[in-house]
Amino acid sequence: GSCTVKTCWMRLPNFRVVGDNLKDRFDGASRVMISNTGSIRGAGKKNRYNFQLKPYNPDHKPPGPKDLVYLEPSPGFCEKNPRLGI
C-alpha cells in the first residue's frame, strides 16, 4: 500500500454492517418528483440547487436528508420485454 494515504481500517464498520444498512435504506427508498422552486436569493445551503424533492405519492411524508430516493422505478430485467425483443 501507499504511505501517502492514512486510513484507519480499524475504525471502519464491518462490511456486513455497511451492506445491511444500505439494503435497509434501499428497501425503504421513496419515489419522489422534483419541484422547481425558482430562483431564491440567499437560499444558502438548505436549498442551494433551487429545487425540492416532493413525494410521488402525496400521502407520503417528504424525504429526509439521509433518506434514499428515486425518480423512476427500476426496469424489471428478469421479465420479458417484447418491445425490445428480450
Predicted confidence (pLDDT) per residue in 29-50, tens digit: 999 999 886 555 555 566 667 7
User: Would residue 42 count as lying in a domain?
Assistant: yes
Radius of gyration (Cα) for the chain, nearest Å? 20
Please tell me the distance from the alpha carbon of residue 76 to that of residue 34, in angstroms, as a whole number: 24
User: Would residue 46 count as lying in a domain?
Assistant: yes
Contact 60, 30 (CB under 8 A): yes
Instruction: Cell numbers for 60, please give them.
Output: 407520503
Residue in 66, 45, 69, 65 with CA at minimum distance from that of residue 55: 69
User: Would residue 34 count as lying in a domain?
Assistant: yes
State pLDDT tens for residues 60-74: 999 988 899 999 998
pTM for this structure? 0.60
Residue in 83, 51, 53 with CA at minimum distance from that of residue 69: 53
Q: How many domains does the chain have?
A: 1
User: Would residue 21 count as lying in a domain?
Assistant: no
Per the structure, the complete domain to which residue 54 belongs is given by 29-75
Residue located via cell numbers 424489471:
76
User: Would residue 82 count as lying in a domain?
Assistant: no
User: Would residue 62 count as lying in a domain?
Assistant: yes
